[in-house]
Amino acid sequence: MSRVGKLPIKIPQGIQISLEQLMLTISGPKGTLVRTVPEQLDLEVDQETIHVRRRDDSRGSRSLHGLLRALVFNMVEGVSQGFTKTLEIQGTGYRADVQNNMLNLSLGYSRPINFALPEGVKATVERQNVIRLEAIDKELLGETAARIRALRAVEPYKGKGIRYAGEKVHRKVGKAGSKK
Q: What is the CATH number of domain 9-80?
A: 3.90.930.12
Three-state DSSP at 91 gives coil
- The whole-chain average pLDDT of the chain stands at 90
DSSP states of 112-149 as a string? -EEEEPPTT-EEEEETTTEEEEEES-HHHHHHHHHHHH
In tens, the pLDDT along 102-124 reads 999 999 889 999 999 999 999 99
Three-state DSSP at 108 gives coil
Three-state DSSP at 167 gives coil
Query: In the CATH scheme, what architecture does the domain 83-164 have?
Result: Alpha-Beta Complex (3.90)
In the predicted model, is pLDDT for residue 88 greater than 70? Answer: yes
Cα 77 to Cα 47: distance, rounded to the nearest angstrom: 17
The whole-number pLDDT of residue 82 equals 93
In the predicted model, is pLDDT for residue 67 greater than 70? Answer: yes
In the predicted model, is pLDDT for residue 143 greater than 90? Answer: yes
In the predicted model, is pLDDT for residue 169 greater than 90? Answer: no
Start-end ranges of CATH 3.90.930.12 in the chain? 9-80, 83-164
Band the pLDDT of 177: cuts 50, 70, 90.
low
In the predicted model, is pLDDT for residue 142 greater than 90? Answer: yes
What average pLDDT does this structure show over 98-105?
92
The whole-number pLDDT of residue 4 equals 82
The whole-number pLDDT of residue 106 equals 92
Cα 175 to Cα 91: distance, rounded to the nearest angstrom: 21
Contact assessment for residue 104 and residue 112, using Cβ atoms and an 8 Å cutoff? yes
Cα 52 to Cα 45: distance, rounded to the nearest angstrom: 9
In the predicted model, is pLDDT for residue 48 greater than 70? Answer: yes
Q: Show the CA angle centred on residue 101, arms to residues 100 and 104, nearest 5°.
A: 90
What average pLDDT does this structure show over 16-28?
91
Cα 107 to Cα 82: distance, rounded to the nearest angstrom: 29
The whole-number pLDDT of residue 94 equals 92
- Pick the closest to residue 9 from 52, 42, 38, 40 (CA basis): 52
Q: Residue 59 carries which DSSP code?
A: H
Consecutive H or E run containing 42: strand 41-45
Q: Residue 153 carries which DSSP code?
A: B
- Pick the closest to residue 89 from 11, 164, 180 (CA basis): 164
Three-state DSSP at 21 gives coil
